[in-house]
Structure 1
Amino acid sequence: MEQNKYIQQHANDEIDLKQVFKTIIKYKFFIFFSILIFTIGSAVFAYVKPNIYSSSATIEVKEEERGWNSSSALKEAFTGAGVNIENQIEVFKSKFLADRAASYLNLGTRYFTKNNYRTYEFYENSPFVVTKNFLDDMFYQKSFYIMPLSSTTFKLVVKPRSKWSKDGLFNLLGVRKFKDVDFFSYEKIHKYNEEIKTEWFNITVQKISKLTEEEYSFYFVHESSFSRYYSDLSISQVSEYASVLRLSIFDTVSTRAKDLLNAMLKAYRDQERERKNETANLSLDFIDSQLEEINKRLKASEGKLEEYKETNEVIDLSQKAKMTSEKLTDYESKLQEISIEQNILKNLQQYINKNHNLSGLAVGSINFADPSLSNMVKNLTELSNQRDSLLIDYTELHPDIVKLSQSIATLRRNIKTVLSNNLNQIAQRKASLKALIRQYTKSLETLPQQEKELTRLTRYFSVNEKVYSYLLEKRAETAILKSSTISNSRVLDEALNYPIPVKPKRMLIVLVGMILGGIVGIAYAFLREFLNDTVKNTEEIERYSSIPIYGVVPLNKNKKTKNIFLESFRSIRTNLQFLPQTESSRVITVTSSVSGEGKTTIVAKIAEIIGQTNKKVVVLDVDMRKASVHKEFDIDNVIGLSNYLTGQNTLKEVISKTESENVDLITTGPLPPNPSELILLDNMKILIENLKEDYDYIIIDTPPVGLVTDALILMNYADISFVLVRADYTRKEFIKNLDRLAREHSHNHIGMILNGVEIGEKYGYGYGVSYGYGYGNDKYYKDRPS
């Protein structure tokens, strides 16, 4: 049983696959047309789409040299870099750097022309240049058109916004109304190098070389939109553990792609150098202010010493006094240096406490007692600068900015702690130095008055001189550092010009269009099949019903199909001979689901074909509501069945002879008010019994079974009831309902005739099936209750 089930399922799968191919073949012309349209469309799209060029460059980014730090050293050891690559990538993507890079290039005006329906953009090779002296903000991105007229004149055209454009549709819908500039139009003839003045713009068109095309266009780009040139910039790390970045960009002009990348690299290195120079400048300003103050004190102490020597006759200091004075000078110089460092630390502490933005914080070349403090301040400055750069493009809720903010807060707390410890240490050192200074000062109190005063003045002069020399040395170091400032980054590969386009992949676009056309065509075919609820061939009838098919009638279009058309009725006649009934006369009813399925024509042809075998046939037209059989035989419908059933005429009077051999006809007669009731009368049964005595076949044309109940009543008198199904007309639901009706009411004498089939594969299949069902009719009756 399981094996039979598997075989049946396998057979169903094969039928479904066959149906798929039949559906594709049925709609092959539409599928081909869809593929053709999509292929042509994609080819046109690929042709007019501008070429896209690519350029790339690599740059190495690294941090400044730092002291030993276990965590940073471990990071460098395992990652191969001492720099946050993600932050540097965000810096490259920032609008600030893009605007700065674009400012190095001449990107304010874009020039275009068309040739063979393709748009080409000029960059450095434009045959004309437009300079603007004034331009209203609303005219940025608005296209200007130039039509050369002669070697000295041209026509300048500004077109109003089309109402069929995207903005025009928004205007019609009321989403975004047109502005005054959208209605502006301009068309005048001008000379080259002539200043063109309007209330909206003031421009000059300068001719560089001969204008060979019929039309050119240009538009102006606002400075705030320069960063859009870098919208296709991509940045990636060459490997996971490298500090080398690869920058790539796409553009419609190959040389501009190269220039954009090189400008970006230059802008990155320039801003890095400027940041370092800013630190050196702040250090120099601080040292200069200290030098100015010490210089005043040095001159004052030098003047006092000279004045004292001139007014007093003094001898050289004794050896002990000289040694004591030198010690005091050293200690007081150290005290001055410590005081300067203490002043710097206090200013640093005050700056960190009062300022939230620490991007301007700098320590220059000053050496602190704690070497880690300088590195921490540099780290804090760099993190603050990175955070400010990211805030140009992102909000404070961005993950990278949140991460930087947390690092800055942690580093700020650590610096405050280190500053506090250093200030405490400096205070202790100052106290120790002051104690030593007081001790040596007391030892000088024993000297004579003149010698003591000379020692004091000499000591003050020496202290100021040493401090001044110390500051001069630091200033020189800082100046040298500033003059030798270089960027930490290093360009490994500059961007080059690659004139071969990388996009679009035109063959791929056409291929995708072709495939898409096939998909759309096939999808449409199956959608039509899914939405089509009419039967088309014998396979579909078999799928929805087990009622046998007695014949397949093709469309009779011309002389070529006439023989096949007639042969189909002969096959029906043959199949009738194998009915299980044994009576001498056979009663055949022919019905359909609705009118228009060819029921009357089929009845007339079956009667004619049977009559040709010397069988007497009478056709009984019971479709009183829409009589039409008499038209097929060209007989008047004056009296007929209704007259007989109501007793107005005898049977002999209502029978009409036809031109067809051995075929008689009983028309419907006048339409009675109660056709269904007349059929239920005993006269109808008596009429059929009487006709059986004189005729071999009685063919009854009944009303459509889907509209009235007359056909169901007449089926009780029939030996075989033919239900006519028309291809691409009869609904599938009717086939299902008919099969359910036959099973529920045990109508074993129902058969189908498929009408209106196209000549071809469908007909050939159906034609063969008609014979098979005629001979295999017992199988149908075997499964039915008797």
Structure 2
Amino acid sequence: MRKRDSNFLLEFIDRIAPYKWSIFFITLLGMSLSALNLYFKPSVYEAKAVIKVKTQEGKGENSNTIDNLFVSGSENIDQDLAILQTYHLHKDAIEKLNINVQYFVEDRYKRVELFYNSPILIDDINISDDMVGKYITLTPQKYGFYIESKSKKYKNFFEYGKEVKTDWFKFRVVKKVDFDKPIYIKLNGSNRNIYENIIKKNFKASRVNENASLIKISYQDTSPDRAIYYLNNLMDFLIKQSIKNKSRQNDKILDFINRQLSKTGEKLKLSESRLEEFRIKNNIIEPTNQSQILLNKLSEIQIELSQIGIEKRLIDGAFRHINSGKEFIGVTPTLIELNADTTVRNIENLQSMKQRLNELSQEFTPKHPDVQSLKRNISMVESGINQEIKKLKSNILHKEMVLKKLKNGYEKDLKRLPTKEKELIDLQRNHDVNSKMYSYLLEKQAENNMKRVATIPDYEIIDSAYSDRIPIKPKRAMGVAISTIFSLILSSLFAYWRSGLVDKLLHIQDLRTLTPLPLYGELPILEDGKRITTKSDRLLQSFRNLRTKINFNHPKQMGNVISITSSRYREAKSNIVSNLGYIFQKADYKTLIIDFDLYSPKLHNIFDLNTNLGASDFLAGNESNVDRLIQNTKYRNLDIMSAGSITEDSSELILSKRLYFLLGILKKRYNYIFIDAIP
């Protein structure tokens, strides 16, 4: 297998070798075009940052304690990843980035962005949708500038500070410093356009690993400073938004508590006044022991019923909010106050799913499978949240019913007491209930004020945005290397294909691949009838080399017979035979040339001999004396046997048995016998 592969590789190299220069230039061209293309592509840098998502660990029975105010946030990292991809989160960072317009100048035949130091400022921008992402050219003049749009085939003159108004765009150009080069202005459109066309494809958020609540965010830009600036702004907004959302929830709860506190305070003052008045009027300070026990139990039940009353108003408000068609997120503060943590997390998950649906709706139609699947999931989650809230209300009502039964039992016992003592207990109970309820609301007020002050975001910056300022793309060295290798392979395959179209032997290597026979040498092209002279240095040396190789491969002293033929006529076969005879006789080898080209003999013309008798006459049996067939030349060691008489069946004479007899005689006389055979 290895030998076969090696042979193929050698054959492949032999086939493409004649085209080495075309391969070289095609490879060089491919490498140059790649380098040129990469030169005009802008370098892209990446900024990275790491943020920590704080989780709600350790929350259980103690979820209402103040300590747990400092551990808040999301347990669903996937939800946070989805939120990080939304336009809602990015819009403020985009606004601060201010790339509705980008300015470029031409430097060394490519466009370079002016990130910080643009000589002009464009404001009051309003463009049509078909101009988003398009370039316009501003060319400075002495008293103003030209605005040109190649896509709209538009060009006109305007003055600085005045409105530039066309059918496709409107803005005002403010000149900050003098400049003399054209400025290429890219119109990126609204913040939403910028998010969809630029931010979305260059921003990424992913988990650092599955076991840590860490998220890595990255942003790619042609300016590393701008990438860092954008990520830092995005993280600042993320943290501020988290604090704002939590504060808004606490404010709603605090507002409700303040209203209840005001009402309960008025009731407490009224109950204190009535109790004091009753005691003075009836000269009763304290109830009896039995009455005191009933009073304490009824007070405890009444306080719990008052708390349940607050919970009922909260849950009823939540139902009114939901039934009005508003978002579930609006009832989150109520559910937090009711300790419905599971439902709160489901609502947060629902919001994330809705934001994801909004993103998908920007890209796909309502019938897209992902959109349909997400809608079904949203519907299931909403149904589950509704059931959880209904169950929460049912639990509150059941608890209220149990407490009312207990209260009715104690009130029956109370009716058996004396009238004045019973009135005292009622007044005392109302006072105690209002007092404890007031204290409970004050505690809740302080607790929510503490939450408001102590609110910390769900996110913490672990690594601020940074960039190593090394371009991540394009990889110029790698790109040029790959293009060079690809061009080399392509040009080599093209050369191999070209070699397959050639039906001639262009190189001696071609012949070596086609035949297992030994090759003795190469000869230059000979003109018809041309023979070697002492002045023909190159030709003479070629035949000498050939003679050496023939001698080496045919070491016999006498009777070496060599037949020379060709694929067709006019391939200088007779010329080669005659020159071989000449070069061998020159080395003192007794040499004979036999002209067996019985159709078109030429040797007699080359050596100026007659054709009266020759090889055909002997083979036909017309002549038996070999000596009469051989003619001497002017060269001492070279004899010729011409073709002789030509007949219609001359070619059949070669099959005659007399041929072997003839060669047997001649082998004893000559060192080398060269036969000029029929093609």
Normalising by structure 2, what TM-score? 0.71
CA RMSD of aligned residues (A): 5.8
Q: Which residue of 1 aligns with 2:401?
A: 427
Cα distance between partner residues in 2 of 1:10 and 1:334: 91
Cα distance between partner residues in 1 of 2:247 and 2:74: 22
Q: What's the secondary structure of 2:97's corresponding residue?
A: coil
Q: Please state how far the C-alpha of 1:610 moved relative to its aligned partner.
A: 5.2
Equivalent residue letter for 2:149: V
Residue 605 (1) aligns with residue 579 (2): yes
Cα distance between partner residues in 2 of 1:561 and 1:405: 95
Q: Give deviations 1:411-456, integer Å, cap 9, x for gaps.
A: 8877766664454233211322244346546757x359xx97x998
Written as runs of structure 1 = structure 2, the 5 A alignment for 1:622-641 is 622=598, 624=599, 629=602, 633=606
Q: Give deviations 1:163-196, integer Å, cap 9, x for gaps.
A: xxxxxxxxxxxxxxxxxxxxx2112232222212
Q: Is the 8 A contact 1:620 1:699 kept in 2?
A: no
Equivalent residue letter for 2:138: I
- Summarize the Cα distance change of 1:226–1:284 in structure 2 as closer, same or farther, 3 Å threshold: farther
Q: Please state how far the C-alpha of 1:473 moved relative to its aligned partner.
A: 6.2
Q: Is the 8 A contact 2:43 2:471 kept in 1?
A: yes
Q: Is the 8 A contact 1:158 1:187 kept in 2?
A: yes
Cα distance between partner residues in 1 of 2:408 and 2:517: 123
Residue 553 (1) aligns with residue 522 (2): yes
Written as runs of structure 1 = structure 2, the 5 A alignment for 1:63-78 is 63-64=55-56, 67-68=59-60
Cα distance between partner residues in 2 of 1:438 and 1:532: 120
Q: Which residue of 1 aligns with 2:565?
A: 591
- Summarize the Cα distance change of 1:597–1:231 in structure 2 as closer, same or farther, 3 Å threshold: farther
- Summarize the Cα distance change of 1:231–1:219 in structure 2 as closer, same or farther, 3 Å threshold: same
Cα distance between partner residues in 1 of 2:224 and 2:604: 81
Cα distance between partner residues in 2 of 1:682 and 1:393: 92
Residue 106 (1) aligns with residue 98 (2): yes
Residue 92 (1) aligns with residue 116 (2): no
Residue 264 (1) aligns with residue 234 (2): yes
Q: Which residue of 2 aligns with 1:680?
A: 652
Equivalent residue letter for 1:262: N
- Summarize the Cα distance change of 1:358–1:13 in structure 2 as closer, same or farther, 3 Å threshold: closer
Q: Please state how far the C-alpha of 1:597 moved relative to its aligned partner.
A: 5.5
Written as runs of structure 1 = structure 2, the 5 A alignment for 1:415-564 is 420-437=394-411, 439-440=413-414, 443=417, 446-447=419-420, 474=444, 477-478=447-448, 481-482=451-452, 484-496=454-466, 501=471, 503-513=473-483, 547-549=517-519, 551-555=520-524, 561-564=538-541
Cα distance between partner residues in 2 of 1:569 and 1:196: 87
Cα distance between partner residues in 2 of 1:563 and 1:614: 19
Q: Is the 8 A contact 1:604 1:629 kept in 2?
A: no
Residue 387 (1) aligns with residue 353 (2): yes
Count of residues in Structure 1 that have an aligned counterpart in Structure 2:
634
Q: Percent identity?
A: 23
Q: Which residue of 1 aligns with 2:123?
A: 131
Q: Please state how far the C-alpha of 1:199 moved relative to its aligned partner.
A: 1.6
Q: Is the 8 A contact 2:312 2:393 kept in 1?
A: no
Q: Please state how far the C-alpha of 1:629 moved relative to its aligned partner.
A: 4.4
Residue 243 (1) aligns with residue 199 (2): no
Cα distance between partner residues in 1 of 2:550 and 2:458: 101
Cα distance between partner residues in 1 of 2:185 and 2:609: 81
Q: Is the 8 A contact 1:361 1:377 kept in 2?
A: no
- Summarize the Cα distance change of 1:360–1:504 in structure 2 as closer, same or farther, 3 Å threshold: same
Q: Which residue of 2 aligns with 1:374?
A: 340
Q: Is the 8 A contact 2:11 2:513 kept in 1?
A: no
Cα distance between partner residues in 2 of 1:660 and 1:441: 163
Cα distance between partner residues in 2 of 1:69 and 1:235: 34
Q: Give deviations 1:50-78, integer Å, cap 9, x for gaps.
A: 233332323222035652379xxxxxxxx
Equivalent residue letter for 2:305: L
Q: Please state how far the C-alpha of 1:555 moved relative to its aligned partner.
A: 2.9
Among 336, 340, 344, which residue is 2:314 paired with? Answer: 344
Equivalent residue letter for 1:134: N
Q: Give deviations 1:108-157, integer Å, cap 9, x for gaps.
A: 1122122012321122322212234431111111110122233x422221
Cα distance between partner residues in 2 of 1:32 and 1:457: 109
Among 123, 136, 139, which residue is 1:147 paired with? Answer: 139
Q: Which residue of 1 aligns with 2:188?
A: 220
Cα distance between partner residues in 2 of 1:650 and 1:69: 133
Q: Which residue of 1 aligns with 2:365?
A: none
For structure 1, which segment, 136-145 or 237-246, has the greater mean C-alpha deviation from structure 2 after superposition?
Answer: 237-246
For structure 1, which segment, 389-398 or 373-382, has the greater mean C-alpha deviation from structure 2 after superposition?
Answer: 389-398
Written as runs of structure 1 = structure 2, the 5 A alignment for 1:650-669 is none
- Summarize the Cα distance change of 1:701–1:471 in structure 2 as closer, same or farther, 3 Å threshold: same
Cα distance between partner residues in 2 of 1:429 and 1:669: 144
Q: Please state how far the C-alpha of 1:366 moved relative to its aligned partner.
A: 6.5
- Summarize the Cα distance change of 1:475–1:642 in structure 2 as closer, same or farther, 3 Å threshold: farther
- Summarize the Cα distance change of 1:403–1:540 in structure 2 as closer, same or farther, 3 Å threshold: farther
Q: Please state how far the C-alpha of 1:556 moved relative to its aligned partner.
A: 5.0
For structure 1, which segment, 632-641 or 27-36, has the greater mean C-alpha deviation from structure 2 after superposition?
Answer: 632-641
Q: Please state how far the C-alpha of 1:476 moved relative to its aligned partner.
A: 6.2
Q: Is the 8 A contact 1:53 1:252 kept in 2?
A: yes
Q: Is the 8 A contact 1:144 1:157 kept in 2?
A: yes
Q: Is the 8 A contact 1:58 1:245 kept in 2?
A: yes
Among 149, 154, 163, which residue is 1:186 paired with? Answer: 154
Cα distance between partner residues in 1 of 2:659 and 2:665: 10
Q: Please state how far the C-alpha of 1:689 moved relative to its aligned partner.
A: 7.6
Q: Which residue of 1 aligns with 2:68?
A: none
Q: Give deviations 1:346-375, integer Å, cap 9, x for gaps.
A: 66679889989744441448755xxxx432
Equivalent residue letter for 1:561: R
Residue 209 (1) aligns with residue 177 (2): yes
Written as runs of structure 1 = structure 2, the 5 A alignment for 1:701-716 is 701-702=676-677, 704=679
Q: Is the 8 A contact 1:249 1:257 kept in 2?
A: yes
- Summarize the Cα distance change of 1:69–1:39 in structure 2 as closer, same or farther, 3 Å threshold: farther
Cα distance between partner residues in 2 of 1:330 and 1:683: 137
- Summarize the Cα distance change of 1:488–1:607 in structure 2 as closer, same or farther, 3 Å threshold: same
For structure 1, which segment, 564-573 or 205-214, has the greater mean C-alpha deviation from structure 2 after superposition?
Answer: 564-573
Equivalent residue letter for 1:143: Y
Q: Please state how far the C-alpha of 1:267 moved relative to its aligned partner.
A: 3.0
Q: Please state how far the C-alpha of 1:207 moved relative to its aligned partner.
A: 1.4
Q: Is the 8 A contact 2:137 2:183 kept in 1?
A: yes
Q: Is the 8 A contact 1:655 1:665 kept in 2?
A: yes
Q: Which residue of 1 aligns with 2:529?
A: none
Written as runs of structure 1 = structure 2, the 5 A alignment for 1:274-285 is 274-284=244-254
Q: What's the secondary structure of 1:553's corresponding residue?
A: coil
Cα distance between partner residues in 1 of 2:645 and 2:117: 94
For structure 1, which segment, 374-383 or 497-506, has the greater mean C-alpha deviation from structure 2 after superposition?
Answer: 497-506
- Summarize the Cα distance change of 1:515–1:553 in structure 2 as closer, same or farther, 3 Å threshold: closer
5+ long unaligned stretches in structure 1: 1-8, 71-80, 161-183, 705-786
Equivalent residue letter for 1:486: I
- Summarize the Cα distance change of 1:245–1:442 in structure 2 as closer, same or farther, 3 Å threshold: same
Cα distance between partner residues in 2 of 1:191 and 1:631: 99
Cα distance between partner residues in 2 of 1:692 and 1:665: 15
Q: Is the 8 A contact 1:54 1:502 kept in 2?
A: yes
- Summarize the Cα distance change of 1:411–1:564 in structure 2 as closer, same or farther, 3 Å threshold: farther
Equivalent residue letter for 2:130: M
Q: What's the secondary structure of 1:134's corresponding residue?
A: strand
Normalising by structure 1, what TM-score? 0.63
Q: Is the 8 A contact 2:86 2:355 kept in 1?
A: yes
Cα distance between partner residues in 2 of 1:329 and 1:339: 15
5+ long unaligned stretches in structure 2: 63-72, 361-368, 527-534
Residue 199 (1) aligns with residue 167 (2): yes
Cα distance between partner residues in 1 of 2:30 and 2:257: 75
- Summarize the Cα distance change of 1:248–1:12 in structure 2 as closer, same or farther, 3 Å threshold: closer
Equivalent residue letter for 1:680: E
- Summarize the Cα distance change of 1:591–1:411 in structure 2 as closer, same or farther, 3 Å threshold: farther
- Summarize the Cα distance change of 1:361–1:90 in structure 2 as closer, same or farther, 3 Å threshold: same
Written as runs of structure 1 = structure 2, the 5 A alignment for 1:51-70 is 51-64=43-56, 67-68=59-60
